[in-house]
Structure 1
Amino acid sequence: MTGGDGGRSRGMEMLRWLLRRYGAMPFAEAEAAVLASEELSPLRTPAELRVAMLGLRRDGVLLAARNRWGDRTLYLPAEELAAWHSLLFAAVPEPLPFGERIVTAEGPARCPGPRGRAPLSRQLLRTWADLRRRGGLPLTANGALHRARAAKLAEAMELAPQELAPLLGAAAADDAAIQAALFLAIELGSELGVLGRTVGAIEAGSGDGWSGFDGTMEELDALLHSLLVRHYAPGDPGLHFAALSLGRLEPNRWYLERETREAFGMTERQPGRAGWDAWLRAAACFGWMEFGRRGEEETIRWTVRPHVGVPGKPGELSVPSGSSVPGVADVPERPVVYVQSDLEIIVPPEVGFGMRWRLEEIAERIALDHVSTYRLTRASCENAVRLGLRPERIAETLREAAGHALPAAATGAIEDWLRDVRTGEQAEAAGHTLRRSAWLAGPLLLLPRPEPLRDCEPDGSVPSRDELFPGLAAVPPAWLAQTRRYHASTRKDMAELALAWRTSLRIEPDGGGGYSFIPESLERLGESWSLVGRVRDAANGDVAAEAVAADSVMSARGTDRVALSVDSLGAIRLELPPEPRREL
């Protein structure tokens, strides 16, 4: 990716660090170089890391933008993070063997989660259907949700405001916190084409002639996971990294949580550790993840198949090459429901969302579970017609769902109930028919989404080497090419230049040996100067304390600082990383 094997290694190393540290959020180049030099091991100079970022920019991996004041920031495109994650963090941990004794639990003490929570797909179906049964959700004159009606609808969601805080931030803790889950349900419904906005209300589309998402509920959860990762997780890099990492685990298999965390480089001291814990808890709150214990070890497993790719368009689930959504290959070509003679309707798990949406329109819900049940009643039929469904479509919908003619008793009951009910045309005249043609264009956004580049313009320029190292052209070539003895004032000038460029010095003391030194400050020491920094071996980055004169060492273990007298440095040379070479 950058010049030479060492350059490529540093480029990939820097990309891994950037993905984990910043995710899709923009960052300042100088700040990132300094932070990376402190957090990466073995020791790296900010200069090496700036050059590594330059290589990433030339390769088109890292992009730049400028705000209205001209300040430049760098960022990784959000739509490419999942692909880079799978490449850079290829070592996915192995699940525990089948038959391991796991005791389900509320999760680690640091991020306890609920047990037995319904998957988000069911919570949303219930909320969307309730909104439709009520004829929509009215808006106030200033476009806000009708508070009392919204609070009633929000009861269908099991999510508490504090459970949404990692994804929604302040929006989950403000005065309207009770509606945060409902806001999320409305936005996701709009994304899938289930809900839309008219001038005065939020409305649900009719199931008659449904042409939107029609996968199973399990596939809907996979799509919802993808939408949450894409739209809401990027605002917190730690949360985003956790979502990408955990999304690569197999569903319905137990994993050791600590082992999983370590496999993706998320140690106890990583800045993104809080985001990791927050995503674990969020996944449990969405009904997607279970916690357990194997002895004293904490375990996790997905109860749905997570998906982190980007759908081709709203409502369309894109499955990565070589993978599959469970059940797709094995389900019947036309999954059917079972209509009993008493008009109870049994819905197996493989029935698609479109048919479930139509059943919610015409029948009363008894249980929404892995296998759901409904019942057709006089009241449900009358409500369906009131909302604009033609009476004859009720029986037709049931026949389509069952795949065969209905029992005679069921057909007779439906005809009796609907004999005196208004026709669909009358309901439409009364203004009850829900038509997508009346919806206002554009997505329904009620919650803040991270848009850090909203006021920025793309910056396609790539800095030259002289920009990375200001004044390079005026530096004597020997300072960069030869390790030699210089006058004390020249050594001080070279030390100041190394500090300005945030690069290292090659030092060869009079007593023999040599080492690479990363200066961090130049301090007055009586009539002379003291250079404070860290020591490393130029070949492999390891600390080389034995090469430093004993009377010059404050401490030379790990990342502790070393103080060297400028007068006794011996032969020195400025070290600059090589020019990056385009590889992609």
Structure 2
Amino acid sequence: MSRLEQLSQGAQELLRRICAAHASEPFVAGKEQRLGPVNQCRAAGTLARQELLQGGWLTAVQEVSGEIFYRIPEAVLPALQQRWFSYTPAALDGSGVKLLREPGAGLAGELFRALLFTAREGLPLTAKGIIARSTMRRLNLQLSLCDETLRSLIMFFPAGDLQFPAAAVAVDLMLCLGLVQRHSKGYSLVPGQLKAWMQLPEPAMDRLLYGIVCRRYGSDRPAARHLRWLLSGRGVAPGVWVSFPALLDWMESTALVDITSRDELASAGQRWLECLAAFGWGELGSAGSGALCFRWTAGKPLPEAGGGAGLWDGLEMDMDMDMEPDSYVETASPSFIVQPDYEILVPPEVPYAVRWSLAGCAELLLSDTLWSYRLTRAQLEFALEQGLDAGQVCRWLESHALGGLPPVVRTSLAQWGRSLGRTTLSGDMLLCRSEEDADALAGHPRLQAGLSRDGPLQFRVTAPSAAALLKELAAAGMAPLRSKGPQSQPPEAVGGWFSLEAASPAERFCLPEQEPQPELLPGPLPARERPHWQPLADLPQEPLYPGLGQVPARWSREWRHYHSSTARQVMEQALAWGIGVSLTLDGQVCEFIPSRITDNPWIVAGYLLEGDSEEGASEMELTAEDWTGMKLVFPVVSRNSSSVEAAGYAMIERSTSSR
């Protein structure tokens, strides 16, 4: 029995209705009572809500004003949809579909480029504590994501403030994945998290990225949230064209969207489909009738079951999305192809850890289906600045290159290695690699005025202009290696991003406990969660049945005929507690749920129940003379419920049994 099936029927039905009406969007506490079936009393609805809260199916947050909201955790929304709103569309004939938008290069590859940019240049902060616009502009130029597609999708920025949408998405994803952290000068990579990320297969990366994208981007409206997760369900298979208007029709028929909101959903949904195509997960087309259609690529991501925080890892779902990242079939090969023109071709099966090491000594050119790099002297110099050795780089390339290195490439690497790193500049001290190089510098006519020899390999820099000195050193073929890493990196982290050592097993990649809310980009907070909402671990508890001890026990234990004045009191007590009353009407025993009482004359209105279905409830008005016998009926909580002990229920049992 799954955790969902352990809930009582009343709790399951309330959860289904909340899911349909609100998805994972927060709603004001008390609104859930209006969603309950008319054949369920208010107290039963309260017990169902408490059961959902205790089981974690609902969470509570509070505004600064003190107002309380409830919401379904986003992590469990896919499972609830699969249970109650599973969508299996009819496949369209692909021969009549005109392709409108091809899939992009892939979000995992775009994130790789952003990580590479951060490793090389860092993400320095301005005096205001945000990432500099110039840095965001340079990062944006490194990415192939369409700015206009993303601009309308990132809802936490006003359109005028979002100047670099691709860069904003990249930084937001790095923060959500815990791949960067803030320090005094800026944001830098987190070595352990980066290593664990690079050792994931690409389908596992896409699985985590897709979960973040679904939670943070797109419209916040419940219908739009439903649409995002419906498309993710196993009923929508990869490679099959599905009609977008048909999906909207189905959502309308299942009350996931009403007719007045359909146009709004259609607009938000089309932007979402364009986003999926931009991230490399889908294609957009036009059917013969002109209707918009969509299909997943073969790399359709599996939604993450646990939302990353581990709260729902034990949720039992009969779905493909139960797969853990490390359960994907491993078909990786570490071999790439080095061509005589210094270009390196990287097939799709090469692990990301190998691609990352390669980025430490070669320039990344393309990151599409087939990745390509280029070996250059400047990139080898960068590798040496990171503490690597030229011989080590050459041996690593040789061991991973399919068929080995071409002779011309091997020769060039050796020549570049001999010419690089002959001097090192540290403060005002210049160190030479050999005494022969030191003698050559000492005898250089244009360097004698700027250098003072302090030892066999050491020179003190006395030149007034460091730029002029570096220019002369470069002309002499002895340019010193630059300092390791960008200035925005913390000293302990610099130089450790690119390793050529054999990859050791990394710890399992885990998302941070909470998604970040940093003030890092120009503009407002990039937040799905409102900053003024605070989680409520302990909700204020009020008695479910106030004054229970002062109410005669026989009202709920014994079936009796009361005087009209007492009968009114019993009915008024039922209305106050929100429970039902068992009555004898025209010789038949039935249950009645009061909803309001009026005086002069005294009349009680409510629902008369016939059977267990909601359709069997009919509205009725009664006077105290209309029934002959009555008894209060308290709602019963299933003992198979996942709730530990519904608040108030045990109190009722103890109170009534003691009388």
The two structures have a TM-score, normalised by structure 2, of 0.65
Match of 2:634 in 1: 576
Instruction: Please say if residues 116 and 359 of structure 2, whose CA atoms lie closer than 8 Å, have aligned partners that are also in contact.
Output: yes
Instruction: Please say if residues 336 and 401 of structure 1, whose CA atoms lie closer than 8 Å, have aligned partners that are also in contact.
Output: yes
Selected match of 1:220 from 189, 205, 219: 205
Count of aligned positions: 538
Selected match of 1:119 from 93, 97, 106: 106
Instruction: Please say if residues 594 and 605 of structure 2, whose CA atoms lie closer than 8 Å, have aligned partners that are also in contact.
Output: yes
Selected match of 1:267 from 256, 261, 280: 256
Instruction: Please say if residues 344 and 372 of structure 2, whose CA atoms lie closer than 8 Å, have aligned partners that are also in contact.
Output: yes
Match of 2:508 in 1: none
Distance 1:54 1:313 in 2: 23
Aligned-residue offset at 1:96: 5.4
| AA matched with 1:375 | R
Aligned-residue offset at 1:460: 8.1
**Relative to 1, partners in 2 of residues 1:412 and 1:327: Cα closer, same or farther, differing over 3 Å?**
farther
Match of 1:150 in 2: 136
Instruction: Please say if residues 29 and 74 of structure 1, whose CA atoms lie closer than 8 Å, have aligned partners that are also in contact.
Output: yes
Distance 1:416 1:102 in 2: 58
Instruction: Please say if residues 385 and 484 of structure 2, whose CA atoms lie closer than 8 Å, have aligned partners that are also in contact.
Output: yes
Distance 2:286 2:558 in 1: 60
Match of 1:200 in 2: 185
Match of 1:338 in 2: 337
Partner secondary structure for residue 621 of structure 2: strand
Match of 1:13 in 2: 13
Selected match of 1:306 from 291, 302, 307: 302
Instruction: Please say if residues 242 and 279 of structure 1, whose CA atoms lie closer than 8 Å, have aligned partners that are also in contact.
Output: no
Partner secondary structure for residue 304 of structure 2: coil
5+ residue gaps, structure 2, are 427-479, 495-511, 521-525, 643-659
Partner secondary structure for residue 404 of structure 2: coil
Whether 2:238 is the aligned partner of 1:252: answer yes
* Structure 2 counterparts to residues 230-379 of structure 1, below 5 A: 242-249=227-234, 252-254=238-240, 258=246, 267-269=256-258, 277=269, 282-292=275-285, 300-303=294-297, 304-310=300-306, 323=323, 328-329=328-329, 331-332=331-332, 334-379=333-378
| AA matched with 1:581 | R
Selected match of 1:468 from 544, 561, 578: 544
Aligned-residue offset at 1:408: 0.5
Distance 1:490 1:279 in 2: 61
Distance 1:205 1:388 in 2: 18
Please say which of residues 343-352 and 391-400 is displaced more in the overlay. 391-400
Aligned-residue offset at 1:458: 2.3
| AA matched with 1:301 | R
| AA matched with 1:578 | V
Please say which of residues 317-326 and 182-191 is displaced more in the overlay. 317-326
Match of 2:621 in 1: 564
Distance 1:291 1:385 in 2: 45
Distance 1:564 1:117 in 2: 63
| AA matched with 1:342 | D
Aligned-residue offset at 1:89: 0.8
Selected match of 1:431 from 483, 488, 491: 483
Selected match of 1:497 from 564, 573, 577: 573
Distance 2:279 2:351 in 1: 20
**Relative to 1, partners in 2 of residues 1:239 and 1:309: Cα closer, same or farther, differing over 3 Å?**
farther
Aligned-residue offset at 1:542: 1.7
Aligned-residue offset at 1:152: 3.3
Instruction: Please say if residues 92 and 263 of structure 1, whose CA atoms lie closer than 8 Å, have aligned partners that are also in contact.
Output: no
Partner secondary structure for residue 163 of structure 2: helix
Aligned-residue offset at 1:137: 3.4
Instruction: Please say if residues 64 and 74 of structure 1, whose CA atoms lie closer than 8 Å, have aligned partners that are also in contact.
Output: yes
Distance 2:620 2:322 in 1: 56
Selected match of 1:89 from 65, 83, 90: 83
Aligned-residue offset at 1:409: 0.8
Distance 2:110 2:238 in 1: 21
Selected match of 1:539 from 589, 612, 633: 612
Match of 1:177 in 2: 162
Distance 2:611 2:377 in 1: 83
* Identity fraction in percent: 23
Distance 2:372 2:363 in 1: 9
Please say which of residues 50-59 and 89-98 is displaced more in the overlay. 89-98
Distance 2:556 2:286 in 1: 58
Whether 2:188 is the aligned partner of 1:189: answer no
**Relative to 1, partners in 2 of residues 1:523 and 1:100: Cα closer, same or farther, differing over 3 Å?**
farther
| Structure 1 residues 179-221: Cα deviation after superposition (integer angstroms, max 9, x where no partner) | 45423312422455654545324445899x9564223444322
Match of 2:30 in 1: 30
Distance 1:294 1:424 in 2: 65
| AA matched with 1:121 | A
| AA matched with 1:30 | G
| AA matched with 1:357 | W
Match of 2:41 in 1: 45
Aligned-residue offset at 1:291: 4.3
Match of 1:549 in 2: none
Whether 2:435 is the aligned partner of 1:450: answer no
| AA matched with 1:267 | L
Match of 1:459 in 2: 538
Distance 1:285 1:568 in 2: 70
Please say which of residues 450-459 and 177-186 is displaced more in the overlay. 450-459
| Structure 1 residues 348-379: Cα deviation after superposition (integer angstroms, max 9, x where no partner) | 11112222233334334443211122322344
| Structure 1 residues 329-366: Cα deviation after superposition (integer angstroms, max 9, x where no partner) | 3624x332111111121111111222223333433444
CA RMSD of aligned residues (A): 5.0
Please say which of residues 255-264 and 238-247 is displaced more in the overlay. 255-264
Query: Which structure has the larger Rg?
Result: 2
**Relative to 1, partners in 2 of residues 1:514 and 1:55: Cα closer, same or farther, differing over 3 Å?**
same
| Structure 1 residues 439-475: Cα deviation after superposition (integer angstroms, max 9, x where no partner) | 59x9793433527797455228977xxx222233433
Partner secondary structure for residue 522 of structure 1: strand
Distance 1:452 1:234 in 2: 18
Aligned-residue offset at 1:145: 1.5
**Relative to 1, partners in 2 of residues 1:253 and 1:17: Cα closer, same or farther, differing over 3 Å?**
farther
Instruction: Please say if residues 198 and 356 of structure 2, whose CA atoms lie closer than 8 Å, have aligned partners that are also in contact.
Output: no
Distance 1:503 1:417 in 2: 85
**Relative to 1, partners in 2 of residues 1:174 and 1:517: Cα closer, same or farther, differing over 3 Å?**
farther
Whether 2:394 is the aligned partner of 1:395: answer yes
Distance 1:47 1:233 in 2: 37
| Structure 1 residues 101-148: Cα deviation after superposition (integer angstroms, max 9, x where no partner) | 562566xxxxxxx65333222322233334545x23332123221113
Aligned-residue offset at 1:479: 4.2
**Relative to 1, partners in 2 of residues 1:93 and 1:374: Cα closer, same or farther, differing over 3 Å?**
same
Partner secondary structure for residue 615 of structure 2: coil
Partner secondary structure for residue 373 of structure 1: strand
5+ residue gaps, structure 1, are 107-113, 546-561
Aligned-residue offset at 1:407: 0.8
Aligned-residue offset at 1:493: 3.8
The two structures have a TM-score, normalised by structure 1, of 0.72
